[in-house]
Structure 1
């Protein structure tokens, strides 16, 4: 698999989130783990390298965990565009987020817009609104210009992408029915 392949497009963002999650875990702020990709190995070389494999089933989201007693699930997405295209977000991921939200969990996307090097939490409720509009023939992406500035994640000097602060804002918006 080449570095340009579909499966590793968000790996820099994912690495940053894993680093941040390790920081949170060491400080007992949250427990959030990277979800492994469900693959079936067909052929493995003597050096441990996988020569042949296939996806056993569709994955759910990139990260699952717990924050202050709440279940949290999210996916990491990166784009070079001034919007996040829905071709980068799979229907089964949105369905999974819907189920988590229905059962009282918190579901969202962390999106990195490379065009201005900004990071944003896109709540499930916002994602669903745009997804439903696209399904009815509307816009096929979520524009950066329309994202709530309260959900922008500030990148810390110590290499931490402190998204927990934004999650607190997201929860307040949900409680106040502002989404």
Structure 2
């Protein structure tokens, strides 16, 4: 018999993860309207095998998921990131699947901005550079990050929008250093 407690925890975590992804998608729309980025949620490769008379769809995932979001910034550079939620006081490096790891590595190799977006309890949000995520063991001595270790990557919110791109360096043809995105620009 399935453990009811584990089922409840699993459903709560799934709902929180979906909420976090919805908030990120809203932030992507915010940056699109500002003309700063076009970032899309990667659709899950789901194969439908049928539907019962109650309308419940049955199916399976065709392959392991890719990173959750990919797109392009206004300077022409790519961006890719995976979104992860936890209700714990730490996030484990192992929450990234092999397929997601590979995708982030490939995009990073081509010069894209790559991150893992982390939600802790749907109240604190972080943008961890992929290079930091991959180097957890060397940087922190373990393959997880605590809230304290995540703090330098904390994201701000404004008007109920998580500012996922604030501080991201943009290429600028007029200067060598580039500029940083600013949501305040109108």
Aligned equivalents of 2:56 and 2:67: distance in 1? 23
Correspondent of 1:97 among 99, 104, 107? 104
Q: Which residue of 2 aligns with 1:152?
A: 154
TM-score (norm 2): 0.76
Q: Which residue of 2 aligns with 1:86?
A: 93
Unaligned residue ranges in structure 2 (runs of 5+): 1-6, 171-176, 178-186
Check conservation: 1:86, 1:131, Cα contact below 8 A: no
Aligned equivalents of 2:14 and 2:70: distance in 1? 19
What pairs with 1:29-178 in structure 2 (closer than 5 Å)? 29-45=36-52, 49-68=55-74, 69-114=76-121, 117-130=123-136, 139-147=142-150, 149=152, 151-156=153-158, 158-168=159-169
Taking only aligned residues, the RMSD between alpha carbons, in angstroms, comes to 2.7
Aligned equivalents of 1:19 and 1:75: distance in 2? 15
Q: Secondary structure at the match of 1:101?
A: helix
Bigger Rg over Cα:
2
Q: Secondary structure at the match of 1:61?
A: coil
- Displacement of 1:168: 3.1
Check conservation: 1:153, 1:166, Cα contact below 8 A: no
Aligned equivalents of 2:134 and 2:117: distance in 1? 15
TM-score (norm 1): 0.78
Aligned equivalents of 2:11 and 2:95: distance in 1? 14
What pairs with 1:17-28 in structure 2 (closer than 5 Å)? 17-28=24-35
Q: Secondary structure at the match of 2:49?
A: strand
Q: Secondary structure at the match of 1:65?
A: strand
Unaligned residue ranges in structure 1 (runs of 5+): 170-174
